Each structure stands twice: as structure tokens, then as C-alpha cells.
Amino acid sequence: MSIAVRLPKLGKTMKDGTVVSLLVTEGDEVKKGDVIFEVETDKATLEIESADDGFVKRVLVRENEKIAVNSTMAVLGPENEDVCEKLVKELELEKAELTKALESGFVDPEAGAAVKSSHLLDSLKDKSGSGSIGEYSITPGTTIEVSRLQRLVGRRMLQSKREIPCFYLTAKADVTDVCGLEEEMNAGGGAEVSIDDFVVAAMAKGLKKYPVMTGQLEGDKIFLAEQIGVSLAMDVEDGAVAVVIKNVDAKTVKEIAEARGDLGAKASEKKLTLDDLEGGCMTLSNLGAFGVETFIPIVIPGQCSILGVGRVNDECVPVGGEVAIRKSVKMTISVDHRIANGADAAQFLDFIKKMLESVDNFR
């Protein structure tokens, strides 16, 4: 019996994918779970696995071909059984119709899945043997292969700079008391809390108070998010990803820390799924660990804004006629001016600043 291997709907917003690698040819024997294709979406490169044991009777896609969700990619069958040519033609016609529907803006949201994805792939390998790029021990003069994840991120960032008219606002928050609360929470055990978790909690409440900041522009309409999800930019071996903490406005700081830790572990183990990368209304990028005080981040296409946070600094400030050492952090927000105006973003950023300056907001 023949089995059609189709492109599954791997995430809530996924409509299509581009075939980047054919790992089988007609006549090859495959086992259930074998990776047979690599497909790139707008968020990640994914492995497509065989749904069953069998032999590859037909391959119906080409490298660099963009196909709609539910399109047949290959046909599997017993070794000594011929595939009905009528079936192959019907599947090719079906794929063409799905592609046409995709180009016209309609794809069946309930499109099924005959296979599953495993995880983000394409580790960046050091061809020189001098160490990984993450350790910055590459030998000078070495040629480094650019991973698919890097190419994907590069294309999206280029799209952002070309298509999104941004403006930028910077504010400084006194986080002395929040840093004290961070130490207090960590002394109690459990997931380790960081400044990021307080910022994410403040962002979530701000997005709920100023919902225009969750806007997504489609045509001449702005769609506001039904649920609050905050993306976290994370550095991984072969580039960077933005994982999403969902329903974050309903989570405590400790719960946000737990979710961040879980997503970080999945990212390092290359076990992220598309669901882990979807649903973000806004992104947080923190480069403070690298000594950066302030920077201007690039808005991720599909979101209204991104917040760049620098390192926590000690500084001398006047307090009640005396000089005191306080902890501060600078935050820069990049905003799509097509969705939000300066007043919207300024109020939103000021809300985050004031949230971070009072520990009562997080107890």
C-alpha cells in the first residue's frame, strides 16, 4: 500500500515551507523516523521524518521549491510494488492546487500532517578544528560556512530594515530594589531568577495595558493579540533564536524564570519546535552579560517592537541630600511606526520603567 508523505502543519501560523534538502532518492529504503527532507519555514529549518517503513517510490518536490502545507512530498511503498501513475498525477495536481491557493492567500488551516518534525538543526561546525564559533576560538583566516539558521535570520533582519519604518526611544530605570528582590527570590531555591524575568513581567503587563503594542499589520488593518506572549532572543550554537513564553501576563516572576529555563534547555539541546517560536507579541534582547550598556535592536517582522536591555550598572546619584550608589539599566525600544506612534511607545516604555522601579509590582 502506498503512503503519501506530506508537509505537516508544524506551527499555528505555518502555511508553507521551502524544501532545502532532499535526503533520499527514488528506490531508497527508509525506516520510520528517518529524516528524508529538510524544510525551511519563516522561523526555522526543520527535519521531516518518514512516517513509516518502506521504499521511496516517487519524490514529488525539488530543492528550493516552495510548497503549501499538506502538499505531498514523496510516496512510499513496498519494495516490489509499483505506484499507480494515476495516483501520482492526482497528488501532483493536488500539490499544484495547494500552491495556487497559497499564492492567492488561502491555505486550509486544518491541513493535516502525515509526518512530524524533530527539531531545529544545522549546527555551525568549525571546519578548521580550532573550536566552536561560540567560544570565539576560530583561527584567523578560516572560511566559515554560514548555517541555514544564520541565513534565515539574515533574510528576516534584511526584510525588517527594508520594510519596517522604525523609531527608537531610550529610558533608564533604577533597579536597585528589584536586584535586591532577585537575590531574595534566588535564596529561596527553585528556578534561578534574573533581571530578564522582571523585565518580561513588566513588558507583559505593559502589553496588556497598551494593547496597540501587540499589533500586527496586515494590509490596512492592525490585528491586536488575543494572548500575551513575549519572545526572548537567545544565542545558540549556530546563530540566534527568539523563543516565546506564552500567557506571560498570568505568570509570576518565578514562573517566568522556570519557563525561560525550560526553553533555554530545549534550545541548547536542539529540541525547539515551531510552537516554541510562535505567539510572541514583542521581543526582549538583553546583551548586558557581554558588557553592553545600550544598543538598538532590530524589530522582528510580524511584531510591533523589540526591547534592547543593557547591563546593570552601579552609579552615584543624589538621594535626600546625600550621594548613594544605585543600580540602573538602560533600555532602548525599537518600534514599527506603522502600528504605534511616539506617544504610545513612550507611555509603554515609561510604564516598564516604573514597574521595574517598585518591587511591590512583583511580590
3-class state of residue 313 by DSSP: strand
Quickly tell me which residue has 510494488 as its cell. Answer: 81
Instruction: Indicate the Cα dihedral angle 77, 82, 85, 89, nearest 10°.
Output: 20
Q: What is the pLDDT of residues 113-125, one digit of tens each?
A: 333 333 333 332 3
Q: What percent of the chain has pLDDT over 70?
A: 90
Mean pLDDT within 200-217: 96
Q: Determine the pLDDT at residue 156.
A: 86
The C-alpha cell at 283 is 521581543
Residue 289, classified by CB atoms within 10 Å of its CB into exposed (0-12), middle (13-18) or buried (19+), is exposed
The C-alpha cell at 247 is 500567557
Mean pLDDT within 255-275: 89
Tell me the pLDDT band of 137, cut-offs 50, 70 and 90: low
Tell me the pLDDT band of 70, cut-offs 50, 70 and 90: confident
Mean pLDDT within 308-321: 92
Backbone dihedral angles phi then psi of residue 231, each to the nearest 5 degrees: -85, 145
Mean pLDDT within 49-68: 88
Instruction: Indicate the Cα dihedral angle 159, 164, 165, 168, nearest 10°.
Output: -100
Q: Determine the pLDDT at residue 286.
A: 96
DSSP for 36-79, please give it: EEEEE-SS-EEEEE-SSSEEEEEE---TT-EEETT-EEEEEE-T
CA neighbor of 164 nearest in space, from 338, 296, 285: 338
Q: Determine the pLDDT at residue 129.
A: 35
Q: Which amino acid is at 71?
A: S
DSSP for 174-240, please give it: E-HHHHHHHHHHHHT-SSPP-HHHHHHHHHHHHHHHSGGGG-EEETTEEEPPSS--EEEEEEETTEE
How many CB atoms lie under 10 A from the CB of residue 150?
17
Cα 37 from Cα 74, distance rounded (Å): 10
* Statement: residue 260 has pLDDT above 50: yes
Mean residue pLDDT of the chain comes to 85
Q: Which amino acid is at 308?
A: G
The C-alpha cell at 254 is 518565578
3-class state of residue 332 by DSSP: strand
Mean pLDDT within 286-294: 94
Between the CA of residue 292 and those of 103, 287, 308, what are the distances in Å?
A: 43, 6, 10
How many CB atoms lie under 10 A from the CB of residue 134?
12
* Statement: residue 346 has pLDDT above 70: yes
Minimum mean pLDDT range among 43-47, 191-195, 289-293: 43-47
Domains and CATH numbers, the chain: 3-120 (2.40.50.100), 122-163 (no CATH), 165-362 (3.30.559.10)
Q: Determine the pLDDT at residue 121.
A: 32
* Statement: residue 15 has pLDDT above 60: yes
Q: In degrees, to the nearest 5, what angle opens at C-alpha 339 toward C-alphas 335 and 342? A: 55
* Statement: residue 136 has pLDDT above 60: no
Chain centroid to CA 359: 30
